[in-house]
Structure 1
Amino acid sequence: MNSTKYRGYQNLWKDINAWVDEYKSIDFETLEYGQREWVKVYIRPFSNISLSNNAIPQPRNKARRLITQGLIDIYRGRKEQLDQLGKPYYLKIWLCEHRFSQSQVVCAIDDCIDFYEITHRKPEKPMTIEKSGISDISSKYPEFTWEHRLDENLVDFNDLGTPDDYHNIEDYLEEKRWYDNLAKKKHIKIETPNSDTDYRAFKKGNVWIGEIK
């Protein structure tokens, strides 16, 4: 699989700065309406969706450092605002160790606070961030605490449906082959009270949940 190359580093640095400036303040109208809001790495080419066989590149070196600092700055700006609400809230950084472009700052209020607390499963043998591949984060931002969780893809296998849901049998069989091949990979079945779902979790790496306490 080829990796998409990106050029124009000066433009990239400007895009990172613009991203931080745009999202370090909360859209309270959106937050109050949906009770949750998040900021992903909305920076090209890391936010692209691949329509070919090319992999979306992951930030490296200076780009990764600047985006990490951007997530920290966005968190701090939002924390300052949320502290003025006078009520409990959820605000944390989800720092993906291996799929760094999937990192984000997430906040929630009211009924959605608990929703995010259970989004990422705990590993059987959790480790400290000092023993991870991004151990420098701990010393660079000592005011943060980081909890080890699993970065996973959740797939509902019931989404396959039946042949009647497809235009023709060939389309159904092609989709079924995709699910069958995916099922051969190591995964965990997620038990849910909803019998209409068949969620399976495929580990992609580690995610570090960071906050200032």
Structure 2
Amino acid sequence: MHYHSKKKKIRGWKRHKRKIDRWKRHAMTFPFDELHAHKRTYVKLTIHPFYISFEGKLPAWFVREVFDAVLDVYHSWHEQLQLLHEPYDLMVWLFDPDFMKSQVVVSYRDCLHFYDQTFEQREQQRAFPTDKFVNDPMKVNDMNWQLCIHTTDWTKEIFDGWLEDDLITRQELDRYKRNVYETMVLSNGDLLYLIDSGNVWIGKHTQEG
């Protein structure tokens, strides 16, 4: 039996829009205790059911509403972090097409450069698609954006297991492998495939910290 994604039909968009406001109100308060303890922290888009089980296409207006809330959180965190009077690295990660993976992350002190190598920049950079993601362009006027690769990685052992258990077809496996941009050999001899799964836009203030 082959695996097929179940795309759920979502109803009650007004109710889901209210969830955005609740998420934003909760996220606006900066978690200083966590930052001091771990020297880094983040906030994800924990808006049910989209961040767990939803695999359909989100309406464009909903994406812009959510990302406007993300930007509000980012700017609020930026203002609160000024109280530290020391360097920090605050950024937005916007995933496309896996939009609900987007988050706001920050690091400082011993972990100031913790996220420097998280994503690899795309060779061909382009302008940030403001019209696609933002209702209020003023919210991104003071931000720089870099286009990076959203990488997922799977081993040959995992792929072979999927085929053996009929979780994917040979055609689906070939489609995965067409998006492989780097292959590595692990210490146990297994192959690790790094797959280009889309874009990540990394945004931060033009003058940070």
Give the TM-score normalised by structure 1: 0.76
Q: Distance in 2 between matches of 1:28 and 1:175?
A: 47
Whether 1:202 and 2:201 are equivalent positions in the alignment is no
Whether 1:11 and 2:15 are equivalent positions in the alignment is yes
Aligned to 1:78: 77
Are the aligned partners of 1:59 and 1:101 in contact in 2 as well (CA < 8 Å)? no
Instruction: Tell me the CA shift for residue 19 of structure 1.
Output: 0.2
Q: Deviation above 6 Å: which 4+ runs of structure 1?
A: 175-178
Aligned to 2:64: 65
Q: Distance in 2 between matches of 1:86 and 1:24?
A: 20
**Structure 1 residues 87-114: Cα deviation after superposition (integer angstroms, max 9, x where no partner):** 2111111112211111111111223232
Identity among equivalent positions (%) equals: 23
* Aligned partner of residue 115 in structure 2, secondary structure: helix
Instruction: Tell me the CA shift for residue 125 of structure 1.
Output: 1.8
Aligned to 2:32: 28
- What is the 5 A alignment of 1:1-213? 1-49=5-53, 56-130=55-129, 134=132, 139-140=137-138, 141-155=140-154, 157=155, 174=165, 181=173, 184-189=177-182, 195=187, 199-213=192-206
* Aligned partner of residue 101 in structure 1, secondary structure: helix
Q: Distance in 1 between matches of 2:141 and 2:181?
A: 34
* Aligned partner of residue 84 in structure 1, secondary structure: helix
- How many residues get paired? 196
**Structure 1 residues 7-48: Cα deviation after superposition (integer angstroms, max 9, x where no partner):** 122221211001000011221121222222111111012112
Q: Cα gap change, 1:71/1:174 in structure 2, threshold over 3 Å: closer, same or farther?
A: same
**Structure 1 residues 94-146: Cα deviation after superposition (integer angstroms, max 9, x where no partner):** 1122111111111112232322121111112222225x883767945312221
Instruction: Tell me the CA shift for residue 206 of structure 1.
Output: 1.4
* Aligned partner of residue 23 in structure 1, secondary structure: helix
Gaps of 5+ in 1: 50-54, 161-169
* Aligned partner of residue 67 in structure 1, secondary structure: helix
Aligned to 1:167: none
Q: Cα gap change, 1:191/1:31 in structure 2, threshold over 3 Å: closer, same or farther?
A: farther
- Alignment-mate amino acid for residue 75 of structure 2: R
Are the aligned partners of 2:96 and 2:200 in contact in 1 as well (CA < 8 Å)? yes
Q: Could you tell which deviates more after superposition, 139-148 or 8-17?
A: 139-148
Q: Distance in 1 between matches of 2:33 and 2:97?
A: 33
- Alignment-mate amino acid for residue 197 of structure 2: K
Gaps of 5+ in 2: none
